[in-house]
Chains A and B, each alone.
Chain A
Amino acid sequence: MFRYYLKLGVLSIRANPALSALMVAAIGIGIGACMTITTIHHVMSGNPIPHKSEELYFVQIDSWSPDEPYDEPNEPPEQSTYIDATGLYALGKDEFPHVISYKSGRVLEPKTEGELPFQVSSRATTHAFFRMFDVPFLHGAPWDAAADDALERVTVLSRPLAERVFGSDDPVGRSVVLNGETYRVVGVLADWDPLPKFYDLNNNPYEEPEQLYLPFTVAIAGEHGSWGNTNCWKPFDGGYEAFLGSECVWIQTWVELPTAADKARYEDMLEAYVEEQKALGRFPRPMNNRLSDVEEWMQIEEVVDEDVSVLLGLAVLFLVVCLLNTIGLLLAKVMRRGKDISLRRALGASKQSLFAQYITEAGLIGMAGGLLGILLTWLGLRGVENLFTGMDFVQRLVVMDWSMVALAVLLAVASALAAALYPTWRAANVTPASQLRIQ
């Protein structure tokens, strides 16, 4: 029977090409608009480290001014002071390994004759970074704790940078010169591109990871300036030493807590640490510690661009308009075919079979609309990409994966079926005789 309905559907679509085209277009455009924004939203709000996101916690402690909160209503600072980052790092050394890090930049001087020095982004971090964030290696391995402690000038390169400097050779053991200082390459990352860049939401959350990684201790000793935000509330004397001792926040602190028990013990430790600091005359605000897992932290930091949220809302409403349009057109079509329906009923078609017939037709239109929608989504994403020429990171947001393609078709068919429900119900309720005589 389904094949018969399919045939009837195709016939009916062919019999009303303009009306059918209008419906397919309405669904397609609605899906296109909706899916374009949904795709971007999907990338923006994606979980960059799904298997582990609930074990990784961003640490916030409230070292801010007694006079006002860091942010209303009573938000602790988004980053840590040097004192606290290193203090927690030392305290948790055995039980709770931390990653403390910040973004910086270096100038790399190629050894090849004639090649000009160029700037690279760098991440000053502790050795656990790679293990904690599951960063894959192509060559070599992370540096170890001893390298952190001994201020060894070692570095891990991202794959693109390694290829730029060393070609396709394995550069482990070789060296690079950064701002006049020689670093030994201990590893090269495989392709790694967490989106959003959850471990540092200070800068653009959609930018690419840093080009190279070096020990936090080395960066501090070399006074590498931060490329992220530095926020201060208390004056401090001049000089880098004074800056390190200041109440300025500029370092991201992460800790890995696999179980609830770990988390509870860590919270106790954190509280004890803050109490201790209070005793030393710091932390003038009430205790306000916060641990946020990856997804919570992305939420707090509002990584999804406000415009995208607004556009998503508008796009959903847009789809609603397109569907209302489709319902209206389907209703018109059904009512124009009152005679045909009435005749079929007279010839013995049951309500159910009429319902099935019209739903099949609507499903066909939905499929066509979905396919058109996918095409339009692709075009829409290219359009967005084009609008943002000059902002390279946007290219990373306008990528359609299979889940989005599937969602588009699903949404289109579901929309078409939903739109068809009322008109089809009306059609199925046409009485057998009513339409045969009149007019």
Chain B
Amino acid sequence: MEFGPIWRSLKRNKAGYILIATQIAVTMAIMINSVAIMQQRAQDMGRPSGMDEANIFTFSSTAFVPETDMQSLIEEDLDAVRRLPGVVDVNATNSFPLRQGGSASGFALEPGAGKDSISAAYYFVDEHGLAAFGANLVDGANFAPNEVIWAAEDSDEWPGTAIVSQAFAKALFPEETGSYVGKTMFFDESRPVQIVGVVERLQAPWKGWEDVENAMFVPLKRDAEYQRYVVRTEPGMRDTLMPQVEEMLSQSNKNRIIEDVRTMEDVRTLAYLGDSAMIKMLTFIVTLLLVITGLGIVGLASFNVSRRTRQIGIRRALGATKTQVVRYFQVENFLVSGLGIAAGAVLAVALNLVLVNSFSLRPLAWYVVPVAMLVMWSVGQLAVIGPARRASRVSPAIATRSG
């Protein structure tokens, strides 16, 4: 309808409108970038670890009496746990996905010093590892029992086989279209390691690591004093078995401490606590911001209505219907919001560039800006509706009142 005169009239009263447009612009810049951050976090949090997380719990065992025979201690533990009804399988390892601590190394395609290598985390397991982690083997075969070696804590022994995550295999052999099984990589400059199996997924222990999808199982058991146990149960049995196992192992050998007994779900929650908190905080900030900006629009529109009471009466006298009066304020808001939104889109993209360059934020998805525009426009229209209705109730008889 009457864009022209409304626009020209806006220009006569700049200050208030510039304020609200700026407010909308900054609100939009914050909103868009918050949403971008939230999206990224939610995406990260949604990545599966490659484990059967729902049915797994873990704990650590620390032996503290010197000269403890770790090998038999571990074997006894594994044996005892495995015999419990409801336990699918158990393994003692150095770490597991989402634990935020563990080991990784570079693996090269050729032997020798200074060769390009790709990093992957490694988990020491035996032939029960796949079942205990609940990893999904998509190619090749599990370790055979005789493939698994025992090594002292500081030993440099390293087995010649590995089961790798698909992502890691793909990173190592990007050209390969067939099977990765049988391919060889090199560890520690010169030790060949042959891929004997590929699992669909296996994350490294650090959720924020750039190579988080690169991980492997290594058929090795270390007689270290410090062990991480991974226990996988039948569905529904986890919560019953967890305290049972803790009690049993604490009693079975008093020369060690059982600690950090946690379900995998809790491990995940803890790993992503910062991210979920960030999402909640940003949601809160954005909601509050929209409310404040909405109230600002209500405030300014109310002020405009009371300032223009007479003008509204004149317009009514000159034949404006109530609907047309409401429409006037809506169009006015649409124009002011439009300015703010256009500036906001530019500001948002600029802020996003800063965040992408200086922080680990990924660039905006294409649809975030248009959706944010729609949201801002809706907030504006929603906020203006009350004052506009009030305006439409101004009596046209005001026009004949002098002074």
Q: What is the chain A residue whose CB lies nearest that of B157? A: A238
Please tell me the size bucket of the interface on B.
Answer: 35 or more
A324 & B259 in contact (Cβ 8 Å cutoff): no
Q: Is the CB of A66 within 8 A of B16?
A: no
CB within 8 Å for A317 and B295 given contacts A117-B64, A327-B19? no
Q: Which of B22, B113, B284, B307 contacts A324 (CB 8 A)?
A: B22
Assuming the A-B contacts A180-B65, A331-B19, are A119 and B259 also in contact, with contact meaning beta carbons closer than 8 angstroms in the complex? yes
- B299 engages A22 (CB within 8 Å): yes
**Interface majority SS (helix, strand, loop, mixed), chain B:** helix
B29, B273, B292, B360: the one contacting A317 at CB < 8 Å is B29
B209 in the interface (beta carbon within 8 A)? no
Distance (whole angstroms) from the CB of A313 to the closest CB of chain B: 8
Chain A residues positioned under 8 Å from B93 (CB to CB): none
State whether A235 touches B155 (Cβ < 8 A).
Answer: no
Smallest CB separation, A19 vs chain B (Å): 7
CB atoms of A325 and B303 under 8 A apart: no
A335 contacts across to B, CB distance below 8 A = 303, 307
Closest to B295 in A: A22
B278 near A307 with CB under 8 A, answer yes
Q: Does A29 contact B (CB under 8 A)?
A: yes
Answer whether A328 and B299 are a contact pair too, CB < 8 Å, given A321-B23, A336-B307, A390-B269.
yes
Give the nearest-CB partner of B266 in chain A.
A390
Q: Is the CB of A317 within 8 A of B300?
A: no
B99 within 8 A of A: no
Bound: A383/B285 CA distance, A = 12
- Given A243-B154, A309-B359, A331-B15 contact (CB < 8 Å): yes
Question: What is the minimal beta-carbon distance from A248 to any residue of chain B, in angstroms?
Answer: 12
Of B30-38, B42-50, B129-137, B368-376, the one contacting chain A is B30-38
Given A238-B154, A336-B303, answer yes or no on A321-B273 (Cβ-Cβ < 8 Å).
Answer: no
Complex CA gap A180/B190 in Å reads 39
Render B1-38 as a binary contact track against A, CB cut-off 8 A, 1 for contact: 00000000000000110011011001101100110010
Q: Are A238 and B152 in contact (CB under 8 A)?
A: yes
Closest to B22 in A: A324
B72 CB to closest chain A CB (Å) equals 18
Q: How far is the CA of A324 from the CA of B403 in the complex (A)?
A: 33
| B residues less than 8 Å from A310 (CB atoms) | 37, 355, 359, 361
A19: which B residues are within 8 A, CB to CB? 299
Query: In the complex, A225 Cα to B226 Cα: how many Å?
Result: 10
The verdict on A422 contacting chain B, using a C-beta distance below 8 Å, is: yes
Interface size on A, residues (CB 8 A): 61
Contact status A307-B156, CB under 8 Å: no
User: Given contacts A332-B300, A384-B277, are A321 and B270 in contact (CB under 8 A)?
Assistant: no
Return chain B residues, CB-CB under 8 Å to A29: 288, 292
When C-beta atoms are compared, the residue in chain B nearest to A329 turns out to be B299
Interface string of B349-364 (1 = CB under 8 A from A): 0000001000111000
A347 to chain B: which residues have CB within 8 Å?
none
State which of B64, B155, B276 has its C-beta within 8 Å of the C-beta of A239.
B155
Q: Is the CB of A179 within 8 A of B64?
A: yes
A118 located at the interface, meaning its Cβ lies under 8 Å from any Cβ of chain B in the complex: yes
Taken together as a complex, chains A and B put the C-alpha atoms of A31 and B306 apart, in Å, by 30
Q: A324-B296, A331-B16, A336-B303 are in contact. Are A439 and B157 (CB under 8 A)?
A: no
Q: For B20, list chain A residues within 8 Å (CB).
A: 324, 328
Q: Which residues of B contact A240 (CB under 8 A)?
A: 154
Q: Smallest Cβ distance from B257 to chain A, in angstroms? A: 6
Residues on the B chain within 8 Å of A235, using CB:
156, 188-190
Of chain A, the residue at the smallest CB distance from B301 is A332
Closest residue of chain B to A235 (Cβ to Cβ) is B188
Tell me if A94 is interfacial: C-beta within 8 Å of chain B. Answer: no
Within B235-291, the residues touching A (CB, 8 Å) are 257, 259, 269-270, 273-274, 276-278, 280-282, 284-285, 288-289
What string of 1s and 0s marks CB contacts (under 8 Å) between A229-262 and chain B?
0000001111110110000000000000000000
- List the B residue with the shortest CB-CB distance to A105: B62
| A365-404 contact mask (Cβ, 8 Å, vs B): 1 or 0 | 0000000000000000001100110110000000000000
Query: CA separation between A307 and B38, bound complex, in Å?
Result: 12
Tell me the complex Cα distance, A292–B13, Å: 56
Q: Does A162 contact B (CB under 8 A)?
A: no
Contact residues in B for A66 (Cβ distance below 8 Å): 114
Return the contact of A329 from the options B154, B190, B296 (Cβ within 8 A). B296
Q: Is the CB of A119 within 8 A of B257?
A: yes
Complex contact B296–A325 (CB within 8 A): yes
- State whether A328 touches B26 (Cβ < 8 A): no
A421 contacts partner chain B, Cβ-Cβ < 8 Å = no
**Using an 8 Å CB-CB cutoff, how does the interface string of A295-307 with B read, 1 for contact, 0 for none?**
0000000000111
Whether A270 sits at the interface, judged by CB under 8 Å, is: no
Bound CA span A212–B89, Å: 38
User: Is residue A109 within 8 Å, beta carbon to beta carbon, of the partner chain?
Assistant: yes
Q: What separation, in Å, do the CA atoms of A422 and B295 have in the docked complex?
A: 21
New A-B pairs, 13, CB < 8 Å, besides A179-B64, A318-B288, A391-B274:
A26-B292, A107-B64, A179-B65, A235-B189, A238-B155, A311-B281, A324-B20, A325-B296, A328-B20, A336-B306, A383-B284, A388-B274, A391-B273
Complex A-B: 19 CB contacts under 8 Å: A33-B285, A33-B288, A107-B257, A179-B64, A179-B66, A180-B65, A225-B226, A238-B154, A310-B355, A314-B33, A318-B285, A318-B288, A324-B23, A325-B299, A332-B299, A332-B300, A332-B302, A336-B307, A439-B310
